[in-house]
Amino acid sequence: MIRRLIALLVSLYLGYILYSFVYVHFPFGERPLRGVAAHYVENGIKEEGATNIVTSIVTLYRGFDTLGEVTVLFLAATGLGLILAGMKREEEEKPEPTLIMETVTKHLFPLVLLFGSYIFIHGHLTPGGGFPAGVVIATGYFMMFIAQRSFTPSEYLLSATESFAGTLYVIVGLLGLALAFSFLDNVMPLGIPNRVFSAGIIPVIYIIIGFKVGSEMTGILLHLKEA
């Protein structure tokens, strides 16, 4: 009891320090838009062609960062497979999924995949992009794991998709290095903003990221389910 009280006091004190610091140094909403942020907002559409400024920051201005992020996710998926390798759960009888569950998920699954693809194709126009889309697709697969007993995607296909998408991402980056003298530069025509076929390589990168994150998250869920 006394330990919990001390822990509560310590965490509340931490929160108090943080709150007073934040409140003094960053008054809410009163910071002007300046520095790189102002540059991104003012010139983002002219320079990169995407109407969603966050997308152009993630994929182009800080594209190298995103490549590193994708690598971290890949390392996590690989490490998970390594840690869980050789773990076999003893067979226990699980309840059979009901008819409603089975039918609904069977018909919902293509719609979930379609929605995921919609999100990553329209990443430069609307909120979203490759990462949320990948998670949506993995959620669809997770639904199938839970509700359908016989459904298991091929692990080989998953890792092949993942490796192919990762290699393609680096190749797109090297294309920028070769044609525009800057890694991950926008080498394709920008087009008219607010169209699906615009913003140069942003949709290409987001489609690659969507495939990569989707297969990676599905692989993680598959490993966790099977271990």
User: Which residues sit at the interface with other proteins, rule CB under 8 A?
Assistant: 3-4, 7-8, 10-12, 14-15, 18-19, 22-23, 26-33, 36-37, 40-41, 45, 51-54, 57-58, 62, 65-66, 69, 72-73, 75-77, 79-80, 83-84, 87, 125-127, 129, 131, 135, 193-194, 213, 217, 220, 223-224, 227
> Nearest distance from residue 13's CB to other proteins, in Å?
9
CB closer to other proteins, 84 vs 180: 84
Contact 219, 158 (CB under 8 A): yes
| Shortest CB 56 distance to other proteins, Å | 9
Beta carbons within 10 angstroms of residue 166's beta carbon = 21
Q: Are 92 and 134 in contact (CB under 8 A)?
A: no
Residue burial 95-124, b: 16+ Cβ < 10 Å; e: rest? eeeeeeebeebeeebeebeeebbebbbbbb
For the bound state, the minimum distance from the C-beta of residue 141 to other proteins, rounded and expressed in Å, comes to 15
Query: Of 43 and 152, which CB lies nearer to other proteins in the complex structure?
Result: 43
Of 216, 62, 78, 196, nearest to 134 by C-alpha is 216
Q: From the CB of residue 190, how many other CB atoms can be counted at a distance below 10 Å?
A: 17
The residue among 51 and 117 lying less far from other proteins, judged by its C-beta, is 51
In the complex, least distance from residue 109 CB atom to other proteins, rounded to whole angstroms: 22
State in angstroms the smallest separation of the CB of 203 from other proteins: 15
Measured from the CB atom, the residue of 73 and 188 that comes closer to other proteins is 73
Residue 129 or 200: the one with the smaller Cβ distance to other proteins is 129
Separation of alpha carbons 190 and 174, rounded Å: 19
Copy the structure tokens of residue 144: 């199938």
